[in-house]
Structure formats: C-alpha cells, structure tokens
Amino acid sequence: MTLPSTTRLFPSHDGVPAEIARSWLLVSGRLTHDDFDAAARSRADQVVLDIEDAVDPKLKPAARTAVATWLGEKGSAWVRINDRTSDFWSDDVDELKSVPGLRGVMLAKTESAADVTETFDRLGGSTPVLALIESALGIEEAVSIARARGAFRLAFGSGDYRRDTGTSADDLAMAYPRSRLVVASRIGGLPGPIDGPTVSASHPILREQSEVAVALGLTGKLCLDRDQLPVINEAISPTQSDVTWARDFLADFEARGRVIRDGSDLPRLGRAQKIDKLARAFGVQPL
C-alpha cells in the first residue's frame, strides 16, 4: 500500500525516547525512499540516515536532497552529517535545519565543543546534536564536548578511532575510549553514550560485544544491519530477573513506609528505580 505524502512514518519503537534508545540503525543516504521507509518500520529505537561516510563525495548533494525530501514529506529520523571541517558541513546544516522530520543530527568526527555548538546554532538552536567521537583528539576532548551547548549524547566511532590510533578491536584495548565517553557523559550531565557498531554477522559475537559495552556503562549501540536490532535491544535492556528484583524491592520499600534501613538501601533504591523505568520504556515484563 502506498502511503499518502502527509503520513509520517515512525520507527516501531517510537515510544523509546532518544535519551535511552538502545539501537541506532545507520542507513546510507544514497538509498531509496523505500529503503528509508523499511528502516522506519524496523525494530530500531532510532534511525540515522547517513550522508557522511556512506556516500561518495560526488553523490553527497543528491543524497542530502533525497534525505531532506523524505524527512519533509513523511519520514522522521536522525541524520549523520559531515564533520565541521569538511566542505559539506555548511550545506548539510542549511538544507536540513528547517525540515520537519529531522529528529536531530549525528555530527561526524567531533573533536571540540565548538564543533557541537556551531552546528547547534546553525541548525537554529533547538535541534539536538549527537556528537560522534572518532579520534584520539575527540576522546581526550570528550568532557568539553559533553558540556557543549547543544550536546545531546555522545557516540563512539570505533572503526575510525582504531584507524586513527592503531588500536586493535580487543575489548581491553577499547576499554579506555569507551570508559572515557562514559565518564565524560556523566560529567556533562548527558545520557549514557552509544557504542560503535559490530561488523561481524555472528549474533553471539554481537551479543557478547553489546554486553561488554553495557558492563562499561554504555547504554546504546550503532548498527549497520536490521538483523542485529533484536539482539542489541535485548542485550541492552534489563533482564526479566532484574525487573522482578526491582519491582519486588520497590514494593517492599513502599510497604515499610519508605524507611531507609541501612547504607545499602539508597544505592539499591536508585538501581531499582532505574531498572523499573527502563523496563517500562522497553516493555520488559518481570518473570
């Protein structure tokens, strides 16, 4: 069935706020509107149309216009735009800033707070900027980037970071940049950061890498393949047993008149409230 141009498509998990979104599906901006429609109907918490690395420089103007047209007619998504120092950044922000379906921009190769703030201002001062950090300099500037006006959330461009630093994909080698983004996000008052994509087609590897990211404090993950979405969403959500514990703890806390018994109660209360909030947002039921 063909949808009328006034019908706006939303991801199936549109009820999941971007602040806590788990899966961020990257879709090349050089694909067709039908491909964008399919992504919008997928299980992605958020869709990101990519007009940066996924598009050849000669094709960027056409891809930018195609993305803006889809967003203006019926779509709703984030857009990964080119970095602040590129020849394409200015045209990217100018063409996208008044498009109604734009949820926010993912700014490629962010390396300074000024990159974020200048992008935010050029977009009109109300469009959130998700800072994609992809280099050693960006990692070391992560705190100032997280504190920048307009910064919404941090994301890890793990592939480009490895290329920049010569670091392997080993979990130990990647622990520092991931932890740096977690700490910077906390200092900047932002939601947890978003991990880079897993290239492997193996779901067990994807699950393992997602669980490592969660253990380090990251709360979302970029992905390149719709088949990965259910695995990411499940791995980053609270487990059913976690939800059971949280609901039982909160019920007991209310039953005893919200009385704090010892020094462990407040941390446990905070954890239970966080699990309960995420479970309700993600639709996770207790055992």
Residue of 80, 89, 176 lying closest to 136 (CA atoms): 176
pLDDT tens-digit profile, the chain (287 residues):
233 333 333 333 457 999 999 999 999 999 999 999 999 999 999 999 999 999 999 999 999 999 999 999 989 999 999 999 999 999 999 999 999 999 999 999 999 999 999 999 999 999 999 999 999 999 999 999 999 999 999 999 999 999 999 999 999 999 999 999 999 999 999 999 999 999 999 999 999 999 999 999 999 999 999 999 999 999 999 999 999 999 999 999 999 999 999 999 999 999 999 999 999 999 999 99
H-run or E-run covering 70: helix 60-73
For residues 39 and 65, the answer to whether their CB atoms sit within 8 Å is no
Contact predicate 51/63, CB 8 Å: yes
Task: List the structure tokens of 33.
Answer: 């509107």
Phi, psi at residue 227, to the nearest 5°? -65, -20
Question: What is d(CA 65, CA 238) in angstroms, rounded to the nearest whole number?
Answer: 39
Contact by Cβ (8 Å): 11, 45: yes
Where exactly are the structural domains of the chain?
23-236, 240-282
**pTM assigned to the model:** 0.92
Give me the amino acid identity at 122.
R
CATH of domain 23-236: 3.20.20.60
d(CA 152, CA 177): 19
Q: Residue 1 class from Cβ within 10 Å (0-12 exposed, 13-18 middle, 19+ buried)?
A: exposed
